[in-house]
């Protein structure tokens, strides 16, 4: 909480990595990345060593820039934080070159066999560094507080194309002995969790001047259609937040094993294939990840306890972008939905629970596991309160100024508060008291001065859910003109358990099991699980063995194991689906299903 990153072994005050050069090749058969990470170091006077983070890496050799070996020691392994690697600094140029290889189980890389891809012909590999997994495929200072620029040369087997969260220098590849080599460079310094690498049968389709879609070739047409509005999103985001500072903004559609909806890697946003609904109804995730180009990427929280700065600002911007693109009512629906999730989380965790505060205490915890909706929704709700107090125009211009002042820096909540006081509150004690800044940041629960969002459309949807609950036939509900957002809300608002005949009636009337919208399908399947609905089991099994997105998979398994009815299904399906899931998700599910 005092600004030191407790989730990294690095001691940046002593010696700090400022640039990474990665020269690596992918051994798809052995599921290993092998290579050299050359780190440029900035050392303070008198510093004798630099401390790096590693996890599940085999260190082969360490040398200075001219090839002379450097002494090093590896600390004791910790299952979450990995091992500290302490390297004696060279006398000359402050460069440290680490030759290493990853283990097949290194959790930062996910290797997929050809048959686990959409195309089915060529394997796929992707990295996922958030929150502290980059250390398991690159030995560097894996800390949010240590920003580093990078360049890379990645060699892949024939038939594969490599992409990274960086400028692509050789998009067509340079053939060498049946292999292909790709060059990358990112001049802007970023925290290591934003370094991203993927390789597979990947093609590209531009959708705008600065925007385009990378995807498995088999998915490229669908993906380019689904995300065709990306350039307009980027333009709206700039109108609110100021200039986009990263050059291009491309998007990579990942295979189903990708555990998140999206990941905001600079220049290369990752998205889940579950967003391919066929009607552009799930593209708010793209708006969210684009918003991270300002919040989280341009400025980064200096510790994981300040994570809300990242997600709270992002959700606020996401809602503003959606308001500009789709109108106030659609944006209000998203906001209402978020507040409902926040309220549910507070109810689940307890109104006094420390994890319902914005500033979190994550000592000894994996920041990747500690994430709830609280930093997202409560963070955005705080910004709404400030906006309501000072007016939208003044708040927007403050935001642009903040993005400017904090650009390419890692900042704590305290630094943001100081900036807010200086540039917006300007000594107005009454204003700060009305906002209740302290209470929002450091007290648990839902502050009573939040701006409660309202959506007349969702209120009507809730009314229909109540009518259904009190006996009205499904066919007689007023559902004309409903889109995916309304259906999802309807399914979430229905009280469970439902008797089997009423579930069947709903399913027959609206055919939710055939929905191409993953959110609607998930809400339907969860309703079915909570109602112990046997006929839905094949649909649940199909969904869980073809989708690896944690947001859907975790709650479905959690709901299944709650009952003697569901537990055997959970165990059988997990056994089948496990190879599809990302390592971190599989480990979490082990705790749910295996425990
Ligand atoms: Zn986010």
Element (DSSP H or E) covering residue 518? helix 518-530
CA distances in angstroms from 74 to 9, 62, 64, 279, listed in the order given: 11, 12, 18, 52
Can you give the pLDDT at residue 1?
39
The residues near 590 (Cβ < 8 Å, ≥ 6 apart) are none
Known catalytic residues?
289, 376
Q: How far is the CA of 358 from the centre of ligand 1 (A)?
A: 15
Q: How far is the CA of 69 from the centre of ligand 1 (A)?
A: 41
Handedness of CA 463, 466, 471, 474 (dihedral sign): positive
Identify the CA nearest to 230 among candidates 293, 167, 186, 312. Answer: 293
How many whole angstroms from 289 Cα to the centroid of ligand 1?
Answer: 6
**CA 476 to ligand 1 center in whole angstroms:** 39
SS3 assignment, position 103: coil
How many A from CA of 93 to the centre of ligand 1?
38
CA 487 – ligand 1 centroid, Å? 24
DSSP 234: H
Task: Tell which residue, 11, 109, 16, has the closest CA to residue 56.
Answer: 109
Residue 254 DSSP one-character state:
P
- Take residue 142 and report the two structure tokens written for it: 């894996």
Taking the C-alpha atoms of residue 227 and residue 233, their distance in angstroms, rounded to an integer, is 10
Backbone φ and ψ of 5, nearest 5°:
-85, 105
Dist. CA 526–CA 133, nearest whole Å: 30
CA of 314 to the centre of ligand 1 (A): 6
Ligand 1 mean position, distance from CA 105 (Å): 26
pLDDT of 179: 86
Beta-sheet strand order (sheet of 124-127): 109-112, 124-127, 197-200, 161-164
Q: 226-238: buried (b, 16+ CB within 10 Å) or exposed (e) per residue?
A: bbbbbbebbbbbe
The whole-angstrom separation of Cα 537 and Cα 543 is: 10
**Which of 365, 476, 425, 455 minimizes the C-alpha distance to 132?**
365
Residue with tokens 């299944």: 560
**pLDDT, one tens digit for every residue, the chain (595 residues):** 356 899 999 999 999 999 999 999 999 999 999 999 999 999 999 999 999 999 999 999 999 989 999 999 999 999 999 999 999 999 989 999 999 999 999 999 999 999 888 888 999 999 999 999 999 999 999 999 999 999 999 999 999 999 999 999 975 555 567 789 999 999 999 999 999 999 999 999 999 999 999 999 999 999 999 999 999 999 999 999 999 999 999 999 999 999 999 999 999 999 999 999 999 999 999 999 999 999 999 999 999 999 999 999 999 999 999 999 999 999 999 999 999 999 999 999 999 999 999 999 999 999 988 789 999 999 999 999 999 999 999 999 999 999 999 999 999 999 999 999 999 999 999 999 999 999 999 999 999 999 999 999 999 999 999 999 999 999 999 999 999 999 999 999 999 899 999 999 999 999 999 999 999 999 999 999 999 999 999 999 999 999 999 999 999 999 999 999 999 999 999 999 998 898 889 999 999 998 5
300 CA distance to ligand 1 middle (Å): 12
Helix H or strand E encompassing 32 = strand 32-43
Q: What DSSP string runs through 283-339?
A: THHHHHHHHTTTBTTTEEESSGGGHHHHHHHHHHHHHHHHHHHH-HHHHHHHHHHHH
pLDDT for the residue numbered 594: 85
Rounded distance from Cα 268 to ligand 1 centre (Å): 14
CA of 221 to the centre of ligand 1 (A): 26
Residue 8 near residue 64 (C-beta atoms within 8 A): no
Which residues make beta-bridge pairs with 23?
36, 153
Measured in Å, residue 311 CA sits from the centre of ligand 1 at: 5
């Amino acid at each position: 909480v005092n600004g030191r990153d407790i989730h990294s072994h690095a001691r940046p005050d002593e010696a700090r990595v400022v640039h990474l050069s990665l020269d690596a090749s992918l051994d798809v058969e052995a599921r290993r990345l092998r290579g050299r990470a050359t780190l440029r170091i900035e050392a303070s006077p008198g510093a004798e060593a630099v401390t790096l983070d590693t996890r599940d890496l085999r260190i082969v050799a360490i040398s200075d820039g001219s090839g002379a070996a450097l002494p090093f020691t590896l600390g004791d392994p910790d299952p979450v934080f990995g091992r500290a690697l302490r390297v004696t600094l060279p006398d000359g140029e402050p460069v440290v070159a680490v030759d290493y290889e990853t283990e097949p189980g290194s959790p930062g890389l996910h290797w997929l066999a050809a048959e686990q891809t959409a195309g089915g012909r060529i394997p796929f590999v992707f990295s996922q560094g958030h929150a502290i997994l980059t250390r398991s495929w690159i030995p560097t200072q894996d800390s949010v507080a240590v920003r580093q620029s990078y360049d890379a040369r990645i060699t892949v087997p024939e038939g594969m194309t490599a992409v990274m969260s960086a400028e692509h220098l050789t998009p067509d590849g340079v053939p060498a002995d049946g292999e292909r080599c790709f060059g990358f460079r990112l001049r802007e310094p970023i925290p290591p969790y934003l370094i991203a690498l993927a390789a597979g049968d990947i093609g590209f389709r531009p959708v705008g001047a600065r925007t385009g879609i990378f995807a498995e070739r088999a998915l490229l047409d669908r993906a380019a259609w689904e995300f065709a509005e990306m350039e307009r999103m980027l333009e709206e985001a700039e109108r609110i937040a100021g200039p986009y500072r990263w050059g291009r903004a491309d998007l990579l559609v990942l295979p189903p094993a990708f555990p998140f909806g999206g990941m905001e890697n600079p220049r290369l946003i990752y998205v889940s294939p579950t967003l391919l609904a066929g009607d552009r109804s799930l593209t708010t995730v793209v708006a969210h990840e684009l918003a991270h180009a300002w919040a989280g990427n341009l400025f980064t929280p200096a510790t994981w306890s300040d994570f809300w700065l990242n997600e709270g600002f992002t959700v606020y911007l996401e809602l503003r972008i959606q308001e500009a693109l789709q109108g106030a009512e659609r944006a209000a629906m998203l906001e209402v939905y978020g507040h409902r999730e926040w309220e549910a989380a507070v109810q689940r965790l307890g109104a006094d629970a420390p994890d319902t505060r914005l500033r979190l205490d994550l000592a000894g915890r994996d920041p990747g596991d500690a994430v709830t909706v609280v930093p997202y929704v409560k963070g955005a709700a705080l910004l709404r309160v400030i906006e309501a107090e000072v007016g939208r125009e003044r708040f927007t211009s403050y935001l642009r100024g903040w993005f400017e002042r904090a650009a390419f820096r890692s900042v704590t909540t305290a630094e943001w508060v100081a900036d807010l006081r200086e540039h917006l509150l300007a000594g107005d004690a009454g204003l700060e008291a009305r906002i209740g800044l302290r209470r929002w940041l450091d007290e648990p629960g839902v502050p009573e001065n939040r701006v409660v969002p309202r959506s007349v459309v969702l209120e009507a949807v809730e009314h229909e859910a109540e009518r259904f609950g009190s006996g009205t036939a499904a066919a007689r509900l007023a559902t004309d003109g409903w889109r995916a957002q309304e259906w999802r809300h309807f399914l979430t608002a229905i009280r469970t358990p439902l008797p089997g005949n009423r579930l069947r009636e709903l399913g027959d009337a609206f055919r939710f099991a055939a929905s191409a919208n993953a959110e609607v399908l998930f809400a339907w399947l969860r309703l079915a699980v909570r109602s112990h609905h046997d006929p839905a089991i094949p649909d649940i099994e199909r969904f869980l063995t073809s989708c690896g997105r944690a947001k859907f998979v975790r709650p479905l398994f959690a709901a299944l194991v709650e009952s003697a009815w569901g537990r055997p299904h959970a165990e059988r399906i997990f056994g089948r689906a496990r190879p599809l899931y990302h390592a971190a998700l599989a480990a979490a599910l082990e705790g749910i299903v295996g425990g």
